[in-house]
Amino acid sequence: MRNRPLGCAAALTATVLLAGCGTNGDGDGDRATTELTVLAAASLTDVFTEAGPLFEEEHEGVTVRFSFAGSQELAAQIHQGVPADALVTADTATLDAVRAETGDHGAPTVVARNALVIVTPPGNPAGVTGLAGLGREGLRLVLAAPEVPAGRYGEEILDRAGVTVTPVSQEPNVRAVLGKVRLAEADAGLVYATDAASAGDEVDTVPIPAAQNVVAEYPAAVLNSTGHPDEAAAFVSWLGTGPARDLLAEAGFVTP
């Protein structure tokens, strides 16, 4: 009989602990967490990795998980039914191609703009000074594949300049192009200005004049497949706020 009060106390303690472990109650300590999956263009990797925690600080109970790839890969994933809540591409054409999967939540919002530059290994060993040099015989040029936004932009730029090139490889996303140049597996590549900035002194940058360049737009949209439309819409809207715009500008993007 002496052990009975102790047993009761233990049972009471267990009951209190179990009550505090709930996930859907009304108290602050048992609030459920919503996880958003955002598919984003590879060129947004660095800035969105920084932006995620900041968004979470401002939106209690919401976490963001990013999946980065070339925009065309993201579109393919959506067509295949990969579950996700929001999409941010590096061009409007790719997002327009999946509008059937984004059409129920309003028009896409352009959250950033970008431009292309030429990158070379440090010291620019091949002596590339502009677009004309990319057509030089023997130059190891690497580009994004034509189905990738950066690849299409690159083709447009080279066509405008009247430069014919023979790339040694065409990569599935712009980060792969940057990686080849960083490893000196190529003499030059075309990447976004923000990618070049992210590489720091691991690459040299040769600017492309504005008259020959293109402006890349990054639209964001909520996907119809989302199970969290309000939270996904909040993330897309947040990308247009001061804190997000500051991060994008620091990374070299131009904000609307």
Each domain of the chain, given as residue ranges in start order, spans 32-113+217-250, 116-206
Report percent pLDDT > 90 for the chain. 80
- What pLDDT is recorded for position 136? 96
Model confidence at 9: pLDDT above 90: no
User: At residue 10, what is the residue type?
Assistant: A
Of the chain, the end-to-end C-alpha distance in Å amounts to 75
Model confidence at 7: pLDDT above 70: no
- What pLDDT is recorded for position 225? 87
| Domain 32-113+217-250, CATH class in plain words | alpha beta
- Going by pLDDT thresholds of 50, 70 and 90, the confidence category of residue 107 is confident
SS3 242: helix
Fold of 116-206: D-Maltodextrin-Binding Protein; domain 2 (3.40.190)
**Interatomic CA distance for residues 24 and 41, integer angstroms:** 34
Model confidence at 31: pLDDT above 70: no
Lowest-confidence range among 50-59, 105-114, 166-175, 233-242? 105-114
pTM, entire model: 0.82
DSSP letter (8 states) at residue 112: E
Domains 32-113+217-250 and 116-206 share a fold: yes
